[in-house]
Chains A and B, each alone.
Chain A
Amino acid sequence: MFSKINIFRGKNVLSLLFLLFFSFNTSNLLANDLEEHAVSQSSDSTVNNAAEAHAAEGHDDKVDITAVAFEHILDSHSWHLWGHGEEAVAIPLPVIIYSSTKGLQIFSSSKFEHGHASYEGYSLQAEKILSSDANETIYDLSITKNVAQMIISMIIIVLLFSSIAKAYAKTGINSAPKGKQSFFEPLIVFVRDDIAKTNIGSKYMKFVPYLLTIFFFILLNNILGMLPIGANLTGNIAFTLVLSVITLIVTNVNGNGHYWHHIFMPPAPKWLYPILIPIEVVGILTKPFALMIRLFANITAGHIIIISLIGLIFIFKSLAVSPIAVAFALFIDVLECLVAFLQAYIFTMLTALFIGSACADHNEDGAHTSDDDVHVAKANH
């Protein structure tokens, strides 16, 4: 099932590239209007600042777009807002270190002075905290930019949906939904009916809260990540890893006898078991692994494409490139809006599919088990 989607995704990327290279018809005027906005989005990429920074470090004055791009994609110990080098405006975030020798330590990331200074034997190099003591093992549990955004998104989601829940309690069930209630209700019903019910089958209601949480958590962070100062949380492999592992746990905890029977006693000749059983067992892990990679790669790729397109201006060192670069960046930006929804949907849908295949009632492939199918299956017995 998900291999199909991979192919589909692959096609998407291909057609995207074609569009990228052949759609030169975008209005230059519009591009000029939006140029300022787009440049501010890749705030670090101003030629002078970047050049100065690199000159200061003793490199040639060529802009290292790769470094700029990855600076945006990777996590950071401070929340960079705008400016570069000494003029950079950034919010320092708390550094939390659990050390094998010194225990828990908490201090502000401003103590590192953007990697220029060391503090209590710790130094920050390329956003990695290193200890001067070779015997000391440290675990970096800092509230990084990603963690901070995650906490903000958690607060937003909890406040938003608890206020929606209050609206339901207040207006009762006999009135039509209003405002944000009516905006989110179709999404909630979509996740419940078209994702959970279609893929899981009769026991779907049990998993709807989990699927809703996953859907809105990924969706909100996808959208926040697209903001100029947002963190690339959903494009971080640690984040997608945790979500996938939780899906893995939920799937296998709810796996019924049929599911395990299919893994350890597949419907095949016995002599094939030495090959099939390892494949099936690995299959348990590859499903969530694919989930992890898919979300991470899609979101990260989108960010890289946008930054690279804007970076073209600085690579060619010509303002003439900017209309085309900005037009493409805008195009990809709009596409990323779609991808934000699409990836949240795909992650949720595949999670539902995996859960469905694990707890399907006497159905061979487990997918699309409806109540009717169950009745038919029972009738056949």
Chain B
Amino acid sequence: MNLFILNALVTPGIGLIVWTTLVFILLIVLLGKFAWKPILKALKEREESIDTALKGAEKAKAEMAELKAGNERILNEARAERDALLKEARDTKESILAEAKTKATKEAERIMQTAREQIINEKNAAITDLKNQVATLSIDIAEKILKSELSNDEKQKTLVGSLIKDVNLN
């Protein structure tokens, strides 16, 4: 009895072999078409989309960093440019100031010079005028003196006498 059962246990039945073959092949075909194909496709797509998303995020991060670096660079550049502009302005201001100063000095000097020259000229003119007036006045005085000195014959004789006195007839 036991031997018979054991024999039955390890003897594959033809019916089950046929049915298993049929069912299993049918299962492979059905599942392959209606289940595994769409499921595996969806899984692959999802993984790819996750992968792409992750890579995209990584890329965005890198871009962000790059952008930040770019911003920093632009900011630095702007700062440098501002400094340069300020420096330039300062220089310009200084140069303008210096130039203005020089110009003013020169102008002042020129004006001074002109003034000086004018003063000298005026002075000279005044001196000349004065000289002339002094001369005229001297002449006038001399004339008047002469007139008064020589107004009578006495006086003329005295003068001539003094004059002759001084003259050495040698």
Contacts and interface: CB of A to CB of B under 8 A. Distances in A.
Contacts of A212: 31, 36
Interface residues of A, number: 51
A141 B49 contact: no
Given A173-B42, A173-B49, A146 B16 contact: yes
A162 B28 contact: no
Contacts of B13: 75, 140, 144, 236, 238
A315 interface: no
B113 to A, nearest CB: 92
Interface stretch (B4-12, B63-71, B78-86, B149-157): B4-12
Interface string A260-300: 00000000000000000000000000000000000000001
B16 A246 contact: no
Given A173-B46, A238-B12, A242-B20, A165 B34 contact: yes
A70 interface: yes
B134 interface: no
A377 to B, nearest CB: 26
B38 to A, nearest CB: 4
A158 B27 contact: yes
A242 B5 CA distance: 21
Interface in A124-170: 126-128, 139-144, 146-147, 150-151, 154, 157-158, 161-162, 164-165, 168-169
B5 A236 contact: no
Contact of B5 (A66, A188, A210): A66
A208 B24 CA distance: 15
Interface in B1-46: 1-2, 4-5, 8-21, 23-28, 30-32, 34-40, 42-43, 45-46
B37 A209 contact: yes
Contacts of B17: 238, 241-242
A74 B8 contact: yes
A161 B36 contact: yes
A212 B20 CA distance: 17
A22 B29 CA distance: 48
Given A140-B13, A237-B11, A70 B5 contact: yes
Interface of A: 66-67, 70, 73-75, 96, 126-128, 139-144, 146-147, 150-151, 154, 157-158, 161-162, 164-165, 168-169, 173-174, 185, 188-189, 192, 205, 208-210, 212-213, 217, 236-239, 241-243, 246, 300
Interface of B: 1-2, 4-5, 8-21, 23-28, 30-32, 34-40, 42-43, 45-46, 49
The 10 closest A-B pairs by CB, nearest first: A161-B35, A238-B12, A168-B42, A238-B16, A209-B36, A242-B20, A173-B46, A165-B38, A162-B34, A147-B19
